[in-house]
Chain A
Amino acid sequence: MNAPTEEMFRDVYAAFDREHAARREAMLAALPLAAPAPAKRRGRLLTTFTAVAAVVVVGLGIAGLEMFRPTPAYGLDGLRERLQALHSLYVKGWIYQRMQTEFGTATVRFPVERYYERPAKYYTVSYGFSLGANSDHLNRVSRVTVANDGSRNLLLSADAKEAVIGPGGDSLDAELRVENGLQVDEAQQLLNGVPKDFERVGAERLDGVMRDIYESKPIAHDDFLRRVWVDPRNGLPVRVVGMHRKSSGEDVLAYEYTVIRANSEPPAELFAFHVPDGYKLTEVKEPAAHPAIDDYCSGGAGSQNAATWAALRLDDNAVLLCWSQWNDAKEQKAWFHDEPQIVLQAGKDRACTEHRLYETTSGGLRWRWSLVTPNDKKPVGSESMAVKFSDPKGGSVTLSIMPLAFAEGRLADMVDRVQRRSLEEGGDFSELKPLVKLRDAVGKE
């Protein structure tokens, strides 16, 4: 036999990795039966001290006991919930595009920067890429920057060299934008999927702290995977890489976020509202008198059209959904022409029932408010919702929307405000349903 190769040594040691996740679970499950033995108390002095300490702890009450609760060390479990509970999040990094040139394949990177702060402050940079017929030539790049601090709003279009600056505008729109940013967009960018879809692949020291590295497990017919570096001290990602893994084994970068900071002040320049030289500036003096609903997601196929605006998770049992559907095969639109099929998407679709509340007109569209409840009576969970329409004559539309979650106190206020916005154009608020009544209605179903 020739001398053992590096590959052979690696194959030898790969065997010690088998079934690691299952064995980890089994080991953790056995731990409560093997609790760490407490240190033996030596002498009456230590016993007396311990007794006094116990009295002090009891005297401090529940809040005091909270102070002594050990801070857990985090893996990936609960990461989505931790992201959703943040006051603010700052993300900076790059997105990558590959293109063919006469000299070979080139990778171009574009800077991205985003900041979301509850309730209604945000900064986003987004790109549009126009690719050639074979998706290998980058024909055009557009970039839009939006900054809104509640009192002012700036929109910059880099390719058109135009800027619009005006009042902060409608706080409800900004709040929904921030919540969608934190609960949906960032959660998907940083961690798409659930912890069981990831496996720990190593560790790396970043900024002097050892971070655990998790990678999404490969899924058939999907070459995209994410790698997340997690700070075990607070369970938050500090670096994320998204890439396509080619059949050749090559990893092609799609994006990487190299700075991720939670609950910290944003860089000052994000909200300086500076208009670059050479931009055509439009100043808006007054906000719209009656802001209308601006669809969150819309689509059409053939004569079939649909849009969603807001989805709020009322509790484990129901979602409040605002949506629209119309068929424009004929001269006049036929509203809510086709019944929706609504499902919660969690691997296997979970069928839901739509309970109509009322309809209203806003922004040139007819909108319907509905309560949506899962048929299987299981909790709504944190899954996204799909609203599907099929036209027997051809054309089907599927819209995805993630129900937003709010703390109880804020939820009642948001339920009121979103409905009020949709009813503002007509001026009649008699149909508005407060949270308490909506939950009662669900209870009776």
Chain B
Amino acid sequence: MSDTAELVVRARDGDQSAFGLLYDRHARLVRAICYDATAHLASAEDLAQDVFLKAYQRLHQLRETDRFLPWLCEIARRAGHDWRRQPRREVELPDEWSGVEPAARREEPQIGELRETIRQLPEDERMALHLFYLEEQPVVVARELLGLSQSGFYKLLERARNHAGAILRRNQESIR
């Protein structure tokens, strides 16, 4: 039984600290997937919390405990999809007006631009970047989630970086 599978089994038996460890390992990736849907950091963080609570409630439905991360990512994707479909009664304030001090507020503008650019990439390219920068074993996870070999993953990663660069250049040229 893999280490992740062991934690899932323990969490399913009611061991919340085991679930806490799974949260530590994968919360950042889930937030990034949620941000792809919300384009708003605070909303993405709130949505990610909901994703983990849903995952905890539905742990008994996960038959292959080794497949926890792909299953979790699917929950996050569906949560993002549902979030986009919901009518918004409240106007979502931009981060800089919300009174919360998000990381984006202290960032260089180009960082926010790059983050937004990544959102516009095709899903597989986005995921390659998310996995590389947020997962401790991106190659292993890429095999699980994207079905890619090590070389395939790094090729996709390079394509994603180049594509992001091209979008940024195009946006800069259209401003001029």
Q: From DSSP, what is the main secondary structure of chain B's interface residues?
A: helix
Q: How far is the CB of A10 from chain B (nearest CB, A)?
A: 7
A30 CB within 8 Å of chain B: yes
B57 CB within 8 Å of chain A: yes
Q: How far is the CB of A64 from chain B (nearest CB, A)?
A: 16
Q: From DSSP, what is the main secondary structure of chain A's interface residues?
A: mixed
A24 touches B27 (CB 8 A): yes
As a 0/1 sequence over residues 24 to 54 of chain A, the CB contacts with chain B under 8 angstroms (1 = contact) are 1011101110111111000000000000000
A407 CB within 8 Å of chain B: no
Which residues of chain A from 54 to 96 have a CB within 8 Å of any chain B CB?
70-75, 77
B111 touches A11 (CB 8 A): yes
A37 touches B15 (CB 8 A): no
Chain B minimum-CB-distance residue to A21: B24
Of B19, B110, B130, which one neighbours A31 at CB under 8 angstroms? Answer: B19
Total interface residues in chain A, CB < 8 Å: 46
A1 touches B110 (CB 8 A): yes
Stretch at the interface among A12-20, A103-111, A334-342: A12-20
A203 CB within 8 Å of chain B: yes
Stretch at the interface among B28-36, B82-90, B147-155: B28-36
B37 CB within 8 Å of chain A: no
B53 touches A34 (CB 8 A): yes
Of A15, A32, A72, which one neighbours B115 at CB under 8 angstroms? Answer: A15
B20 CB within 8 Å of chain A: yes
B24 touches A200 (CB 8 A): yes
A15 touches B14 (CB 8 A): no
A70-B7 Cα distance, complex, nearest whole Å: 11
A9-B161 Cα distance, complex, nearest whole Å: 9
Chain B minimum-CB-distance residue to A36: B59
B21 touches A34 (CB 8 A): no
Chain A to chain B: the 8 pairs with minimum beta-carbon distance, closest first: A73-B18, A15-B103, A70-B13, A13-B133, A3-B165, A210-B3, A16-B31, A16-B28
- Identify the A interface with B (CB < 8 A): 1, 3-4, 8-20, 23-24, 26-28, 30-32, 34-39, 70-75, 77, 200, 202-204, 209-210, 212, 232-233
Listed A/B pairs (16) with beta-carbon separation below 8 Å: A3-B161, A10-B133, A12-B115, A15-B41, A16-B29, A17-B28, A18-B102, A19-B45, A23-B48, A24-B20, A24-B27, A34-B57, A37-B57, A70-B15, A73-B15, A75-B17
